[in-house]
Structure 1
Amino acid sequence: MPHLALYTFGVLKSPLVDPGPLTRQFYESGETVYRKISRHPGYLGHAEAADGDRGMLFEADWGAWGEFAVPTWYDKGRTVESTALAATLSLWTDLHPAFDAIYTGPHREALNRRYDWFERTEHPNYVCWWVSDGVIPTWQDGVSKLEHLHAHGSAPHAFTFHHSFAPDGTPSRVKGIGPTSGQVR
């Protein structure tokens, strides 16, 4: 049975090592979000670096999730001192549990504050796609899908919750989004 891969990417207003209160609040919120999401029904896992130091994204060992990569439009630093981004790569059983985890609870609260922490851009900040059972998506997969979404819009191989597709490539809807209600179709 296919699983849903979800890649998120945002450019922060300040580097990850900034000692200021907003960066500290971002990290505190993130810790709460990850604790809650990791227990959410339908959650299968997310990319974690072997060495979890702040800012060690580009140099980290990500194991099966591959080498860390970012979209071409990211133009800030890549060192521990200058990296100013937040990215996640996760795996889910289906669209509905991922949507529910993102748009409720602590993550919803964090989304409400996103412009405190993140720059506003014209680029999408997340992308979904289906992977075969047993496949671990890579950071490069996420970047490629996000860049495709930005250039071409939603498609069966790179989509959003608002314009989603079932594993067989047919358009689908998530409960609470779009003109119809109900579960994912």
Structure 2
Amino acid sequence: MPHLAMYTFGVLKSALADPTPLTGEFYELGEAVYRTMGQQPGYLARAEAAEGDRGLLFGADWGAWGGFAVPTWYEKGRTVETTALAATLSLWTDQRSAFDAVYTGLHRDALNRRYDWFERSGHPNYVIWWVSDGAIPTWQDGVSRLEHLHDHGSAPHAFTFHHPFTSEGTPTRMKDIGPTSDPVR
């Protein structure tokens, strides 16, 4: 049975190493969000660096998830001291489970504060797509699909919760998701 892959990407207003209280709040809430997301129904896995070092993204060992990659529009730093981004790559059993995890609870609270931490841009900040059972998406897969979504809009290859597709590539609609329910795009 296919699984849903989700890649999220945002450019932070300040570097991850910034010692300000706002960055500290982002980390605290982010760590709690990761813990709760991992307990959500339908959650399968997420990319985690083998070392688990905070801020070490580009040089980390991501195992089967591949080398860390970012979209072409990311123009900030790439060192522990200068990196100013947040990205996730995860696997879910289905669209509804992923949607519910993103738009409820603690993650919803974080979304409500996203403009405290993230720059606004004309780029999408998440993309979802189907992968075959047992497949592990790579960071580069996520970047390629996010860039495809930006350039071409939703398609079976790269889509959003607002314009979803079945694993067979047929457009579909999720109940209770309408034009105002997808604030991230």
Shorter-chain TM-score bucket reads over 0.9
Q: Deviations over 1:10-35 (max 9, x none)?
A: 00000001110110000111111111
Aligned counterparts of 2:178 and 2:79: Cα–Cα separation in 1: 41
Instruction: Map residues 1-185 of structure 1 onto 2, 5 A cutoff.
Output: 1-178=1-178
Q: Which residue of 1 aligns with 2:182?
A: none
**One-letter amino acid of the counterpart of residue 134, structure 2:** G
Unaligned 5+ segments in structure 1 are: 180-185
* Superposed displacement of residue 175, structure 1: 2.4
**One-letter amino acid of the counterpart of residue 33, structure 1:** V
Aligned counterparts of 2:117 and 2:127: Cα–Cα separation in 1: 20
Larger CA deviation: 135-144 vs 31-40? 31-40
* Superposed displacement of residue 178, structure 1: 2.7
Matched pairs, number = 179
Aligned counterparts of 1:23 and 1:171: Cα–Cα separation in 2: 39
Aligned counterparts of 1:64 and 1:78: Cα–Cα separation in 2: 21
- Runs (4+) off by over 3 Å: none
Q: Deviations over 1:157-184 (max 9, x none)?
A: 10000000000111111221138xxxxx
Q: Secondary structure at the match of 2:128?
A: strand
For normalisation by structure 2, the TM-score amounts to: 0.95
Q: Percent identity?
A: 78
Q: Which residue of 2 aligns with 1:182?
A: none
* Superposed displacement of residue 98, structure 1: 0.1
